[in-house]
A and B are shown apart, each in its own frame.
Chain A
Amino acid sequence: MSLRQIYETYHKDIQFLSIYIREAHPVDGWWLGKGAFSVVIKLSGSKATLDLHDPTTMEERRSVAGQCEEALKYGIRTFVDEMDDGVNEIYAAWPTRLYLVGIDGKVAYAGGLGPFEFKPSEFKKAIENYLVEIDVSA
């Protein structure tokens, strides 16, 4: 199940927040757009070969975040981390990560480190289990 599908299924019970953080593979960083392996990455549909520089101002960061929001079409409003990467660092979110925060303000699910431990199916299961749990205790 994709994140979009998870959102469409649970958005009435769960508040979804998309948080844009520092770029994973900008041209001026760990770029995967060169070499033979880049062809494989491009064919996989990954955006890691995009010709995109890491934003250096909030204006640039918001602009790229807006492009990302538009391209992914999750239907989830995107919020942008400040240039000090404060939220990114506190949640060890880079390059991508999932969390579920319960109604009590406590972490109900903390996804593994991305990209390989970024698991929407596991996230969906955590959401389902949490909703059952709070329904039972209500």
Chain B
Amino acid sequence: MPKTIQNKREAQAWQKHHDATAPKVGDAAPDFELSDVHGEHTVRLFDFRGKKPVALIFGSYT
């Protein structure tokens, strides 16, 4: 399991590392399948292709 970021330096390093390969405008959005907060209902990004645009809002509580 990835470790918890401890400070600003680690945060910036993490972002720099992963942003280099993150999807840019025009790129195919990487597919994923995730479950909801109850571990029940799942969603797959590809299921919306051809149907509806998808807004992805990433975040946490803190």
Q: CA of A105 to CA of B30 in the docked complex: distance in angstroms?
A: 9
User: Cβ of A101: which chain B residues have Cβ within 8 Å of it?
Assistant: 29, 45, 48, 53-56
Q: How near does chain B come to A43, taking the closest CB pair, in angstroms? A: 16
Q: How would residues 74 to 104 of chain A score, 1 for a CB under 8 Å from any chain B CB and 0 otherwise?
A: 1011111111111111111111111111111
Contact of A94 with B15 in the complex, beta carbons under 8 Å = yes
In angstroms, how far is the closest chain A Cβ from the Cβ of B57? 5
CB contacts (< 8 Å) of A25 on chain B: these are 62
Which residue in chain B gives the minimum CB-CB distance to A28?
B4
How many residues of chain A get a CB closer than 8 Å to chain B's CBs?
Answer: 80
Interface centre among A13, A14, A105 (most CB of B within 10 A): A105
Contact B36 A80 (CB under 8 A): yes
Asked whether, in the complex, the Cβ of B43 is within 8 Å of the Cβ of A83, the reply is no
Q: Which of B17-57 contact A (CB under 8 A)?
A: 18-19, 21-30, 32, 34-39, 41-43, 45-46, 48-57
Q: Which residue of A lies closest to B50 (CB)?
A: A103
Q: Which residue of B lies closest to A11 (CB)?
A: B55
